[in-house]
């Protein structure tokens, strides 16, 4: 059996969010989520937390990780590099325990939201090809790298990328798709770390993810906590139909309404998570026209999952209406997962 080691680096002393690696989010310290992800993996058979703090180590053990050492202070500064942390951990295990893993997986504790099947898929990729040095999780870049510049002190600009002539003048749709390393999951061969003194090596494979939940600020923390609460299910969502599920029609001829397919995917995902989905509409409130049968048939033909349909506005934990009071949160956190 292959020895697959997960290392969760969790130093103390974060400045952006105080003690963020052990800050409680949705009832558990942040580090507990990464430990759970590792323990639930099909491949990972050892989980270690590398920390400079006895307090952090105690918490890590409570949630099922090992802490065979306390990380030396010189590898726990703001400027400490991953390579130093991982070289220390692997060197310690080899010298003190004669333990040498076949594959090492880095799971940063600032990602309380990740999907275990992604971890397993990346490990499987590595195990299937001995020539691969590392597999890194990546996400689509929101900004177009070909339209970025360096600016000199005299304000003269030079394009960052020059592989395409005057790419900065081209429509973004015609430019190559760019991905960035999101640091959610890294899978590496130990020899690359110990012999090449690298966290990536030469042959680097990418594993694309659409969502990414790195926590670096209090705002990030709050958004991730809300996502976790919603993903547990049991919340009551009320969605307006027109302007949210159905694209708005100024002529009020609702029989000709078109579906907002992206929003429907979000609603169906919330439904599948175990949340209660209530739909409401004011169709016919002014005109007196009965749109109930038309509305029900539209929801069925558009494959909208819901529990109740109201011709009025019921109570809820979350309202999403055409004023978009809460829609932005839903779009940011759920749409990329659909």
Does 186 share its domain with 244? Answer: no
* Domain assignment present for 221: no
C-beta of residue 138 within 8 angstroms of C-beta of residue 125: no
Does 207 share its domain with 237? Answer: no
pLDDT confidence of residue 172: 87
* Domain assignment present for 226: no
Ramachandran angles phi, psi of 201, nearest 5°: 75, -160
Is 18 in a helix, a strand, or coil?
A: coil
272: closest CA among 242, 222, 230, 331? 230
- Copy the structure tokens of residue 2: 């292959």
C-beta of residue 213 within 8 angstroms of C-beta of residue 227: yes
CA distance 212 to 182: 7
Its pTM stands at 0.80
Does 327 share its domain with 200? Answer: no
190: closest CA among 132, 125, 104? 104
Number of domains within the chain: 3
Please write the tens of the pLDDT for every residue from 17-37.
Answer: 778 899 999 899 999 999 999
Does 205 share its domain with 148? Answer: no
Instruction: Write out the DSSP string of 167-228.
Output: GGGS-GGGSPP-EEEEEEEEEE-HHHHHTT--SS-S-EEEEE-S------SHHHHHHHHHHH
The residue count for the chain: 338
Does 191 share its domain with 308? Answer: no
CA distance 15 to 56: 16
CATH number for the domain spanning 182: value is 3.90.550.10
* Domain assignment present for 227: no
| Region class of 26: left (phi > 0), else alpha (psi between -120 and 50), else beta | left
Please write the tens of the pLDDT for every residue from 178-213.
Answer: 999 999 999 999 999 999 999 999 999 999 987 667
CATH number for the domain spanning 276: value is 3.40.50.1000
Please write the tens of the pLDDT for every residue from 240-281.
Answer: 998 899 998 888 888 999 999 989 999 998 999 999 999 998
Q: Which residues of the chain have pLDDT under 50?
A: 323-327, 336-338
Other residues' Cβ atoms within 10 Å of the Cβ of residue 233: 13
- The label of the residue with tokens 């394009």 reads 159
CA distance 43 to 128: 13
Element of type H or E holding 28: strand 28-29
Does 155 share its domain with 294? Answer: no
Question: What range does the domain containing 171 cover?
Answer: 142-177
Does 69 share its domain with 57? Answer: yes
């Amino acid at each position: 059996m292959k020895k697959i080691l997960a290392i969760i680096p969790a130093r103390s002393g974060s400045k952006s969010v105080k003690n963020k690696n052990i800050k409680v989010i949705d009832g558990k310290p942040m580090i507990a989520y990464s430990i759970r992800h590792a323990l639930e993996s099909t491949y990972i058979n050892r989980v270690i937390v590398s920390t400079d703090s006895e307090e952090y180590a105690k918490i890590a053990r409570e949630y099922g990780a090992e802490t065979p050492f306390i990380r030396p202070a010189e590898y726990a500064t703001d400027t400490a590099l991953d390579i130093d942390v991982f070289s220390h951990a692997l060197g310690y295990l080899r010298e003190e325990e004669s333990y040498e893993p076949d594959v090492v997986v880095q799971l940063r504790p600032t990602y309380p939201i990740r999907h275990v099947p992604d971890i397993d898929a990346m490990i499987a990729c590595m195990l299937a090809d001995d020539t691969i040095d590392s597999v890194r999780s990546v996400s689509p870049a929101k900004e177009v790298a070909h339209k970025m510049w360096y600016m000199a002190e005299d304000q003269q600009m030079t394009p960052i990328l020059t592989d395409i002539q005057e790419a900065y003048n081209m429509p973004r749709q015609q430019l190559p798709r760019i991905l960035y390393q999101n640091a959610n999951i890294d899978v590496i061969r130990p020899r690359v770390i110990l012999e090449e003194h690298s966290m990536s090596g030469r042959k680097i494979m990418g594993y694309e993810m659409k969502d990414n939940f790195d926590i670096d600020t209090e705002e990030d923390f709050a958004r991730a906590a809300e996502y976790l609460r919603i993903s547990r299910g049991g919340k009551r969502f009320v969605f307006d139909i027109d302007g949210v599920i159905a694209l708005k029609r100024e002529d009020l001829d609702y029989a000709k309404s078109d579906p907002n397919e992206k929003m429907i995917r979000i609603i169906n995902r919330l439904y599948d998570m175990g949340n209660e989905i209530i739909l409401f509409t004011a169709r016919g409130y002014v005109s007196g026209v009965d749109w109930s049968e038309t509305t029900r048939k539209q929801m069925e033909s558009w494959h909208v999952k819901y529990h109740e349909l109201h011709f009025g506005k019921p109570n809820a934990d979350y309202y999403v209406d055409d004023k978009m009071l809460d829609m932005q949160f839903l779009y940011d956190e759920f749409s990329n997962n659909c």
